[in-house]
Structure 1
Amino acid sequence: MRKIFLLVLLISFFKGLSQNRPLLYNVDDLPQALLQNPGARIDFTRHIGVPFFSQIHLFAGSSGVTAYDVFADNDGDVNDRVRNIMRDITSGDFFSVNEQLEVLSLGWKMSDRLYFSTGIYQELDIFAYFPKDPAVLAFEGNASYIGQDFRFSDVNFAGEVLTVYHAGLNYKVDNQLTVGGRFKLYSGIFNAESTSNEGVFRTVETPGGPNFYRHEVSGLNVRVNTSGYASLKEEEGMTVDKAVAELLSRSFFGQNVGLGVDLGFNYRVTEQFSVNAAIQDLGLMFHQKDVENYNYFGSFQTDGLEPLFPELDENEATIPYWDVFEEKLDQNLQDETTNNTYTTWRPLKFNASFQFGTGKSILPCDYLISKKPRFMNLFGMIFSGVNRPKGPTYGVTAYYDRKVTDNFRFRVAYGADEYTLTKFGLMMSTRLKNFNFYLAANDIIGYTNLAKANTASLQLGLQFIFKDL
């Protein structure tokens, strides 16, 4: 029954997976594997990270365009390049930036089966879909798009900066199954999101009407929520440097809070073959302080100005056509600023994988070998993802992991996701006595020319890892 349950859980994860951080997933001698799967199998008994340096993660990606596409050094006109890009890119393409800095990380084995880990990390996450219709309207106008709708729903973005306090337990049920969970307390520093917008703009021909065309805005309902921004905007003399300093001052105790959990397992089907899966950041942020919302709503249509030319004496003023038009526009298309609290889901992350080991190691000095067989060669595939406002993004990674010695290992990986189909990655981890250093870089081909790269990802860290008490 337990095997059936685990298999169903694993298959359910396959349905909603996307790109994540595959180079450290399943690396059983790095504590960072517990951040991605609290139920991962591990082979250390204690760890403590070098403050602010145990994990530094940087990622930036674009699914539809690169910097080279816009700023290529050739004879073409930049406006033509932008026009071509806007024709090819869709409202489903997106841009993403993620940064994570581990402030504190430590853990220790509480019993033969139970490992406790805790820490603090700061995270920045920005995700925006390309607002195609508003961008085309702003760049090209409506002359070539008579009768077509420009959708305001294309405006869809979310961004946040927060600090995460976490504590987790990793429990070895038996020689086959390991499970784990992690509780998280989120401390919000800054948030801005606009994800459920409505309304269209269109221009239609009106034969026999008062004008050749009618312009219509219907069902407009655009909302931008912010927290941690109003106080920066309203403070007199605020500069970029002061704003950054203020945000840094909130790093440990932000104004808004949230709760979340991570859950995961690892199941060794045979001595050589294992499957595992995990979810991260199943949680909510409650934005209640320093909140400001910007709302734009209404419907309006116009056939344009209809100027009259009556005879006027010297004491009569001309009709203020533009003022009248602007007044009607303001009456029908309204904007308001409110301070209503709101709640956001954290971007839920998924990971699932299977792994096969060969080349069993026999190390008499390794007291864990009887509990967890060690294989020098590991072959695996990871399905990973992040849930986003329009649905999850997807990715898959195949890897070869080689434990060269007890103190050095490397991983080479090939992945495909919605950013690129040629994502080569490399990870190495080395240990001098108990001091560990690791470095992981994904999409290595893109590093040869960052301007042409769709993604760039880098992880590195310094920490102390102990294998015995």
Structure 2
Amino acid sequence: MRYKIIIILLVAANSLWGQDKHLLYNQTHNPQSLMLNPGAAYEKTNFHVGVPALSNFYASAGNTAFNVDNFFNANDFNSNIALAIDRISPKDFGAFNQKLDLISIGWRNEKRYYSAGVYQESDGVTNFPKDLIELAYYGNAGQNRSYDIGEINFRANLQTVFHFGINDQVSEDLHLGARVKLYTSSVNIRSVRNSGQFNTRQSASGLLLDQSISNLDLRFDSTGLDNSEDFSAGNILMGSNYGLGFDLGLSYYFNDRVEITASILDLGFIHFSKDTRRDISQGFFEYDGLGIEFPDFADGDDLISYYQNLGDEIEENLPTETSSDSYTYVQPTKLNVGLSYNFGGNANLCNCRLKSSGKQDGNQTLSVHAFSMLSAGNLFYSINAMYERSFWKTFYAKVSIGIDQFNRPNYGGGVALDVWKFNIFANVDRLNHFSNIYNAEALAYQFGLNLKF
């Protein structure tokens, strides 16, 4: 049984996802790039519509501590787990993000481009509580130490987002954009800013453990978990709790070749008031007298569950207060900044149907992109240098190299095709681990299909 917690926390962390989408950022031929910067110098087609459920799908996975091969290799499995636990620091974490565009449309009105749609998103982050993982794996028999309960730190959210955005070409050089979002959610969990210690000391006789919980302040907020068996696709898609958010962005050309872009996304919150539950455990508890010797099975002694006995004592003497109080969930806000330089042959040699609203000159682009996000006290970041080339304004290829919280370095690549009314794109991040995903701490994929008129 002791392996369950370890496997769930450590191995499953490799299916956790992150939120950096630098390969799509500032692809002005792609209407989906407006979701990363509502002020991008988008080429302003007359109209675009995303193929439902196919216009933009994104998933990436990563954690800062291990990969699958750390556990499942030619070495002894128990030794691998011990080495993995030893490798953890309290600052290590995993995070996940998945996004599926359900409806996406956009239309031009003079120098403004309007966009609207609905997408479904799930995301979360969890720290790895090193002390408690060691307690679960090794036990505390003979251990004179304190275990930090405050290392428990996680949040996760499943939401549907309705959005409406405006992209305005203020001048020849400047684009500004804004988007308003309505969040709706029926599923949310969080436990952050906890504190407390679990202390164990061996008694003078050496046969008993004196144990205590001190300065405990442990909180767990959840929505929808108590009624999860009643969930259907409809009430997950249209949640019972609502919130409001905003995106802001800009694009500015210093000259025909140099452009700076920036955006801030998800300045918002969800207020959870329906199907909520709040559990709070606070206080101090002392416990002694639990023997650390194993039962004598030969004499017919019963197997006594160490953790069950201890848990029963704690529950009796340190009860948890449960309520249905409402709470506010603050969205993890994302910041993007980009600088690009366009060069090479004329990008408009073909007799193209579409004309760019920006001042881009050249069929090649060198760019730098920076991303940051703070979630549950963890800093997510990336810095990437990228090279993109277009061929006849029909085929686009893009490569990147950079660093982030998961990989150093990280390689990525993407392609896009603009032919007739179709815009098709695919991006793959973490290419340096793509040939053997078992050695990867993170993976990322994205694809989409949109129609432009």
TM-score, scaled relative to structure 2: 0.87
Q: Choose from 407, 414, 427 the match for 1:420.
A: 407
Amino acid at match of 2:186: I
Determine the structure 1 residue equivalent to 2:445.
458
Larger Rg: 1
- Which residue of 377, 380, 396 corresponds with 1:393? 380
Residue 41 of structure 2 corresponds to: 41
% identity of equivalent residues: 29
TM alignment of 1:47-126, pairs within 5 A? 47-72=48-73, 74=74, 76-111=75-110, 113-126=111-124
Tell me, yes or no, if the aligned pair for 2:39 and 2:249 is still in contact at 8 Å. yes
- Quote the Cα distance in structure 1 between the aligned partners of 2:375 and 2:357: 43
What amino acid is aligned across from residue 374 of structure 2 in structure 1? N
Cα-to-partner distance string for 1:331-386 (whole Å, 9 max, x where unaligned): 53112322111111111111111001102514474574686233201000110122
In the alignment, which residue of structure 2 is the partner of 1:222? 218
Question: Given residue 27 of structure 1, which amino acid in structure 2 is its aligned partner?
Answer: Q
Give the Å deviation of 1:294. 2.4
Alignment equivalent of 1:404, drawn from 391, 415, 422: 391
Change (3 A) 1:173 1:215: same
Q: Which amino acid aligns with 1:139?
A: Y
Q: Evaluate the alpha carbon distance shift between residue 325 and residue 354 of structure 1 in structure 2; reply closer, same or farther with a 3 A threshold.
A: closer
Partner of residue 30, structure 1: 30
Cα distance in 1 for residues equivalent to 2:329 and 2:357:
46
**Pairing partner for 2:339 from 339, 348, 354:** 354
**Greater relative CO, 1 or 2 (CA 8 Å, sep 6+):** 1
Name the structure 2 match of 1:341.
326
The aligned counterpart of 2:4 is none
Q: Which residue of 2 aligns with 1:12?
A: none
Counterpart residue identity of residue 105, structure 2: L
8 Å Cα contact 1:19/1:396 also seen in 2: no
1:180 deviates by 0.6
Name the SS of the counterpart of 1:424 in structure 2: strand
Asked if 1 retains the 8 angstrom alpha-carbon contact of 2:43 and 2:358, the reply is: no
Measured in 2, the distance between the counterparts of 1:301 and 1:371 equals 68
Cα distance change of structure 1 residues 88 and 364 upon mapping to structure 2, 3 Å threshold: closer
CA distance 1:88–1:438, shift in 2 (3 Å)? same
Distance 1:197 1:456 in 2: 30
- The Cα shift of 1:66 comes to 0.9
Q: Map 1:271-282 to 2 at 5 A.
A: 271-282=256-267
Counterpart-to-counterpart distance in 1, 2:403 and 2:309: 56
Three-state SS of the structure 2 residue aligned to 1:375 is coil
Q: In 2 relative to 1, CA 369–291 (structure 1 residues): closer, same or farther, beyond 3 Å?
A: closer
Structure 2: gaps of 5 or more residues: 1-17, 292-307
Gaps of 5+ in 1: 1-17, 233-237, 307-322
State the Cα deviation string for residues 115-144 of structure 1 (Å, max 9, x = none). 100110000112111121111111112246
- Within 2, Cα distance between the matches of 1:406 and 1:97? 34
How far apart are residue 104 of structure 1 and its match? 0.6
Cα RMSD (Å) of the superposition?
A: 2.4
> Closer, same or farther in 2 for the Cα pair 1:328/1:30, shift >3 Å?
closer
Question: Quick one: distance in 2 between partners of 1:79 and 1:272?
Answer: 57
| SS, match of residue 227 in structure 2 | helix
Is the Cα contact below 8 Å between 2:50 and 2:450 reproduced in 1?
yes
2:367 aligned residue:
380
Q: 1:198 aligns with which of 177, 195, 200?
A: 195
Among 179, 182, 186, the alignment partner of 1:182 is 179
Partner of 1:320: none
Taking the aligned partners of 1:418 and 1:24, their CA distance within structure 2 comes to 19
2:165 is matched with 168
Distance (whole Å) between structure 2 residues aligned to residue 108 and residue 370 of structure 1: 14
Tell me, what secondary structure is at the counterpart of 1:53?
A: coil
Q: Which amino acid aligns with 1:123?
A: E
CA contact (8 A) 2:267 2:333 kept: yes
Contact 1:122 1:251 in 2 (8 A): no
* Residue of structure 1 equivalent to 2:244: 259
Compute the displacement of 1:293 (Å). Answer: 2.0
Instruction: Spell out, residue by residue over 1:27-70, the C-alpha distance to the aligned partner (whole angstroms, 9 max, x if none).
Output: 00101111001011111322111111101111111111111111
Work out the CA distance in 1 between the residues paired with 2:92 and 2:48.
Answer: 40
Q: Distance in 2 between matches of 1:28 and 1:333?
A: 58
Aligned residues of 1:19 and 1:385 also touching (Cα < 8 A): no
2:44 alignment partner AA: F
CA distance in 2 between counterparts of 1:258 and 1:286 reads 6
Note closer, same or farther for the CA distance 1:149–1:269 as it changes in structure 2 (3 Å cut): farther
1:285 equivalenced with 2:270 (yes/no): yes
State the aligned residue count: 417
1:431: Cα distance to partner?
2.0
Q: 1:444 aligns with which of 431, 443, 448?
A: 431
Superposed structure 1 runs of 4+ greater than 6 Å apart = 209-212, 323-328
Residue identity matched to 1:54: S
TM-score by length of 1: 0.84
Give the superposition deviation at 1:252.
3.3
- Asked if 2 retains the 8 angstrom alpha-carbon contact of 1:41 and 1:178, the reply is yes
- Residue 222 of structure 1 aligns with an amino acid whose one-letter code is L
1:254–1:324 Cα change, 3 Å:
closer
Q: Which residue of 2 aligns with 1:3?
A: none
Q: How far has the Cα of 1:257 moved from its partner?
A: 0.6
